[in-house]
Amino acid sequence: MTLYIRRESSKLWKRFCSEISTEIGLLAENWKYLLAGLICQYIHGLAAKGVHYIHRPGPTLQDLGFFLLPELGQERSYISETVFTSVFLSFFLWTFHPFILKTKKIYTVLIWCRVLAFLVACQFLRVITFYSTQLPGPNYHCREGSKVSRLPWPKSALEVLEINPHGVMYGCGDLIFSSHMIFTLVFVRTYQKYGTKRFIKLFGWLTAIVQSLLIIASRKHYSVDVVVAWYTVNLVVFCLDKKLPELPDRTAVLLPVISKDRTKEENHKLLNGNGVDPADWRPRAQVNGKIDSNGVHTDNSMNGA
């Protein structure tokens, strides 16, 4: 048992080292795209913080989803965040599965270049929408009377450029588009195309639907924010997927199938010499006889008798 564990550990380590060398080469070629995508994530965070400064709390708008779905309450707002965190972590870990598992269909660097491109395009549209029209936030901390419904004006430029994790959780004004749904739908669509487990694909779409309902029930977004995210994200991903170069499919690199006949021929080559062509193995015509199509020798003298 110990020998088996040691052998498997050695194979896993070799696989990990081989994958590391491959991904480092890809990272050296594509680090600019990854860096640009991360910078855009930071800019998106700054934009969401900026709209919080100009947010004006007011009465909650009339919403069909608020009438149809029961309100979870402020004390149960963690449910939707827990579902989103599970989706995010699951997808993040899946993108690194080629380092461990034998079934490799994607390259980690290339898949994140593609995912970041989808996120940046959707978030760019999101920033345009919530700066075009400011709506009173439906979340509990965004309503009238809350101390954090508006951010106090910054005292320095450094304060504007700082991203506070607390502010990310308790932002206001970044509406007409749900940020959580952007990430969720991009992740689900990416696994739909590059994943291998059908059960996980179905479960991913079901989770996206549940996440949508939980966002509305938690009063974190209006129903229109979720609806816009559903058709916009799918449309953006569909269009960009046609423009971006297709990722190389690692499962397509297979060994050639060798038939039994070819294997026999190779064995004959090894036995009779590499210089012998298999076509020369056919029987030779005899001086006093001939060979029919079945390879049976027929003597002319016997035929005459």
Answer yes or no: 55 catalytic. Answer: no
Is the per-residue pLDDT at 271 higher than 70? Answer: no
Residue located via tokens 């059960």: 199
Answer yes or no: 225 catalytic. Answer: yes
Alpha helices in the chain (DSSP H): 2-53, 64-68, 78-94, 108-132, 157-161, 165-169, 179-194, 198-217, 223-243, 260-272, 300-304
At residue 272, the pLDDT reads 52
Is the per-residue pLDDT at 284 higher than 80? Answer: no
CA distance 182 to 117: 12
Angle, CA of 201, 204 and 205, to the nearest 5°: 95
pTM: 0.77
At residue 258, the pLDDT reads 41
Select which of 44, 52, 55, 180 is catalytic: 180
Per-residue pLDDT of 43-85, as tens digits, reads: 999 999 889 888 888 888 898 999 998 888 888 888 988 999 9
Per-residue pLDDT of 88-120, as tens digits, reads: 999 999 998 887 777 777 888 999 999 999 999
CA nearest neighbour of 48 among 170, 227, 231, 223? 170
Select which of 44, 52, 174, 225 is catalytic: 225
CA distance 37 to 42: 9
At residue 199, the pLDDT reads 93
CA nearest neighbour of 77 among 180, 177, 164? 180
DSSP character at residue 281: G
Select which of 44, 52, 55, 221 is catalytic: 221
CA distance 98 to 180: 26
CA distance 211 to 87: 10
CA distance 200 to 90: 11
Angle, CA of 235, 239 and 242, to the nearest 5°: 145
Q: Which two tokens stand for residue 155?
A: 């005292």
Task: Write the single-letter amino acid at 272.
Answer: N
Segment 180-200 mean pLDDT: 93
